[in-house]
Amino acid sequence: MIEDGELAQLVDDGIRGVTSNPSIFQQAIDTSEQYDDQIREILASNPEASVDEVFEELAVVDIRNAADVLRPVYDNAGRDDGYVSLEVSPLLAADTAGTIEAAHRLWKKVDRPNLMIKVPATPEGMPAIEELTAAGININVTLLFALSAYEDAAHAYVRGLIRADDPSTVSSVASFFVSRVDSKADAVLDKIGTEEALELRGKIAVANAKLAYRTYRAIFEGPAFAAELQNGARPQRCLWASTSTKNPAYPDVLYVDSLVGPNTVNTLPPATVDAFIDHGEIDSSAVGSNAADAEATLQAFRAVGADLDLVTDELLKEGVEKFADSYVDMLDTLRRKIDSITG
């Protein structure tokens, strides 16, 4: 996408940022020879390089080049947009010190102001978010499912901003996952099986996201953050993640149309981008409207005997495991590629 100009065309069409993950790298490494020459160069300069080190070098080059494509967006938007996200190893999700060290290393290696480092919203990730923000590193807080975790991440960002030398240079997003919530919640509702329970299918994720946005506004548009705004600080925007519709019975742009609003970001896979361009609807008040109805929906979810905290706890646990598994699978693919190149 970088080399053939597809990414530049997407940016021209209105895409404002890019994220990466190990699964994307795995597919690219496994199904093409585009990385073979880079792998040879890395091994020629460092024959003892581990597979992790080889991957990091490959990733850094791609992220740096993508950041360069998006740099005009970043400059023209006054640093509000134009970011590229790269995650620390998911194997560090329970390691605060390891996450901080890895984030500093990646930040220095990529050496682009429009980089965001992805840090998971685990209990161990929260202090890392504060420390890295204080150090002036842009953070994409990922794997947010619970409202309580979102609030913790927002406050960690604010604490970091207060300690930062120049808060005006720091940006952050809070990646709040959407469709996975409905997938898990729908399974719970199907198991309960009452008419009241079944009526709630496909409604929990958007309601959960709307309440997260209400919390965002309370924190970042309230008087407590006003002093930071005066110092040039930016709010930590809500980013809606996992926005492709998993259930074919639901509209394919359900998690896009419903969550449009000021100071939000939506990460879309290519098929959802195409669907939204074709028939999406833009209502700039969508995510900020009907918060009372959203709260009532979640109360109804609990009233039928479902436990939203249990749902979000399981999603975080599964998300950490899936990210780690994807990373390990990617390393296995890369190891096989290295073996085939080196014989």
Please identify every residue annotated as catalytic: 118
- Across the beta sheet with 115-120, the strand order is 17-19, 83-87, 115-120, 139-144, 172-177, 237-241, 264-266
Distances (CA, A) of 226 to 160, 234, 235: 16, 10, 10
Between vectors from CA 108 to CA 105 and to CA 114, what angle results, nearest 5°? 120
Q: Structure tokens of 93?
A: 């999700």
Amino acid at 160: G
- Give the C-alpha distances (Å, rounded to integers) separating 12 from 7, 82, 136, 279: 9, 12, 29, 20
Instruction: Classify 266 as helix, strand or coil.
Output: strand
If we measure between CA atoms, which residue out of 303, 300, 159, 338 comes closest to residue 233?
159
**Of the candidates 124, 135, 122, the residue with the CA atom closest to the CA atom of residue 98:** 124
Alpha carbon distance 326, 323 (integer Å): 5
Question: Taking the CA of residue 57 as centre, how many other CA atoms within 13 Å lie in the half-sphere pointing to its CB?
Answer: 18
**Chain mean position to CA 109:** 21
Give helix then strand counts, H and E, for the chain: 15, 7
- Give the Cα separation of 292 and 207 in Å (integer): 9
- Evaluate whether 136 touches 105 at the Cβ level (below 8 Å): no
Of 76, 57, 73, nearest to 18 by C-alpha is 73
